[in-house]
């Protein structure tokens, strides 16, 4: 059956959960196919995590480099023991508090996990997603599901089924469509195999909440360019990038808005088409300009939920440049800031 040339788009009914569709998707996973499915963060591109050939199809479909490891999704905390070994007590505690939810734990890898899942490292990333469709797919498939975000490598992550299709139609078997993903940025990743726990990627679970359980957790943001050799997984600077050049402006609000306004006027005068990513409260300051605006709403959670959609929306209007104002590095703001820095490939302007 699987590995079809045409991708099936299956709507999931919120009320019934569409059990027949989920059963079909579970079969496809068990037979080595690729199923894109919603999680609470972004859409994932799933394959049976125990099947090396199926996992290699994920890398092909996404055009993902083989040195970028994949997160294994499980249905219940006990499944951790078939994925990982030497699991520390703190992992069980964190699982109890944060799962299902947007927290990924890096643990020592179990031999049953094929080496392409973990990019040949002896550690593995694991989480239980908090989304009814993801959970029922995991239960029905009966195997752990390896799933990176369901976008083409280095494109913004997909928060809607249509984003998955834009990037991957024809390369995957099915997309389970249940509308927008609620959180909108990926899970927080923490490494529990290093002497001190390390935050590897800020995400849907805030650093402040993690500090309640891991007071000693370390975070050192890493942004690495393509031509530096052997970057650690997930530290590549160019990631989540739309086609237009993104610049991030960081500073006190009023001064930053005025600076962005002036630069936008210059770009327009130079014949460039300008796109702006703006919070509701900032929009009024740019209404006099002939620009494309994508709105991020009025809070951290609306900003996270709309960020990738907004980048794709602006890209679709063929803007030459995109400007955004950097959020604070607290709560979800830390993850939003990280994704914007990557989308901007490091073009961050500090406004005095």
In the region spanning residues 57 to 86, those forming contacts with Mg ion, defined by CB under 5 A, are none
Q: Is 41 one of the binding residues for Mg ion (CB under 5 A)?
A: no
Is residue 70 part of the contact set for ligand TXA (CB under 6 A)? yes
Closest CA to 155 of 48, 40, 43, 53: 43
332 binds ligand TXA (CB under 6 A): no
Count of CB atoms within 10 A of residue 288's CB? 9
Size of the site for ligand TXA (CB under 6 A): 27
By beta-carbon proximity to Mg ion, the closer residue of 149 and 247 is 149
Say which entry of ligand TXA, Mg ion, none residue 147 contacts (CB below 5 to 8 A, set by partner kind). Answer: ligand TXA
Q: Report the relative pairing of strands 123-127 and 103-109 from DSSP bridges.
A: antiparallel
Query: Quick one: 83 or 274, whose CB is closer to ligand TXA?
Result: 83
Q: How far apart are CA 335 and CA 203, in angstroms?
A: 5
Residues 208-247 that bind ligand TXA (CB under 6 A): 233-234
Rounded to whole angstroms, the Cα distance separating 95 from 98 reads 5
147 counts as binding ligand TXA under rule CB under 6 A = yes
By CB under 5 A, residue 309 contacts Mg ion: no
Q: Which of 186, 171, 196, 185 is nearest to 59 (CA)?
A: 171
Pick from 116, 149, 187, 247: which binds Mg ion (CB under 5 A)? 149
158 makes contact with ligand TXA (CB under 6 A): no
The least distance separating Mg ion from the CB of residue 70, rounded to whole angstroms, comes to: 10
Nearer to Mg ion, 149 or 205 (CB): 149
DSSP state of 330: S
Helix axes 300-316, 161-168, angle to 10 degrees: 40
Shortest distance (Å) from residue 150 CB to Mg ion: 9
Whole-angstrom distance, CA of residue 32 vs CA of residue 52: 9
- How far apart are alpha carbons 17 and 315 in whole angstroms? 33
Residue 32 interacting with ligand TXA (CB under 6 A): no
Q: Measured on CA atoms in the order 183, 149, 180, 156, is the torsion positive or negative?
A: positive
Determine which helix (DSSP H) or strand (DSSP E) holds 30, and give its type and residue range: helix 19-30
Residue with tokens 């030497």: 86
The stretch near ligand TXA (CB under 6 A) out of 69-77, 90-98, 211-219, 266-274 is 69-77
Q: By CB under 5 A, which span of 74-82, 144-152, 308-316, 319-327 interacts with Mg ion?
A: 144-152
Q: For residue 26, how many other CB atoms are within 10 A of its CB? A: 20
- What kind and span of H or E run contains 127? strand 123-127
Q: Which stretch binds ligand TXA (CB under 6 A): 88-96, 184-192, 217-225, 296-304?
A: 184-192
Residue closer to ligand TXA (CB basis): 125 or 257: 125
**Footprint of ligand TXA on this chain (CB under 6 A)?**
39, 41-42, 44, 68-71, 102, 104, 106, 118, 121, 123-125, 129, 147-149, 186-187, 189, 200-201, 233-234
């Amino acid at each position: 059956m699987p590995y079809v040339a045409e991708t099936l788009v299956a709507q999931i009914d919120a009320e019934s959960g569409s059990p027949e569709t989920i059963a079909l998707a579970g079969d496809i996973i068990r037979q080595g196919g690729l199923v894109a499915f919603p999680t609470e963060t972004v859409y994932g591109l799933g394959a049976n995590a125990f099947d090396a050939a199926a996992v290699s199809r994920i890398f092909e479909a996404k055009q993902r480099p083989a040195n970028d490891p994949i997160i294994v999704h499980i249905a219940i905390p006990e499944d951790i023991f078939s994925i990982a070994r030497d699991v520390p007590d703190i992992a069980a505690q964190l699982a109890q508090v944060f799962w299902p939810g947007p927290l990924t734990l890096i643990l020592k890898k179990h031999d049953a996990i094929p080496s392409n899942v973990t990019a040949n490292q002896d550690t593995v990333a694991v989480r239980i997603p908090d989304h009814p469709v993801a959970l029922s797919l995991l239960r029905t498939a009966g195997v752990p599901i390896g799933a990176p975000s369901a976008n083409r490598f280095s494109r913004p992550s997909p928060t809607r089924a249509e984003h998955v299709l834009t990037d991957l139609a024809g390369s995957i078997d099915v997309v389970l469509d249940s509308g927008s993903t609620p959180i909108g940025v990926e899970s927080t990743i923490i490494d529990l195999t290093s002497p001190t726990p390390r935050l590897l990627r800020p995400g849907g679970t805030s650093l402040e909440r993690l500090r309640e359980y891991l007071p000693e957790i370390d975070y050192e943001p890493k942004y690495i360019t393509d031509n530096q050799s052997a970057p650690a997984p997930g530290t590549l600077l160019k990631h989540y990038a739309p086609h237009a050049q993104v610049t991030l402006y960081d500073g006190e609000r009023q001064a930053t808005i005025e600076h962005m306004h002036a630069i936008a006027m210059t770009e327009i005068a130079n014949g460039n088409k300008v796109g702006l990513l703006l919070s509701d409260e900032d929009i009024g300051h740019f209404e006099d300009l002939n620009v494309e605006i994508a709105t991020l709403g009025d809070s951290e959670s609306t900003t996270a939920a709309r960020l990738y959609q907004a980048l794709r929306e602006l890209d679709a209007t063929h803007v030459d440049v995109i400007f955004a104002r950097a959020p604070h590095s607290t709560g979800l703001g830390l993850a939003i800031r990280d994704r914007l820095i990557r989308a901007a490939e490091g073009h961050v302007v500090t406004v005095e």
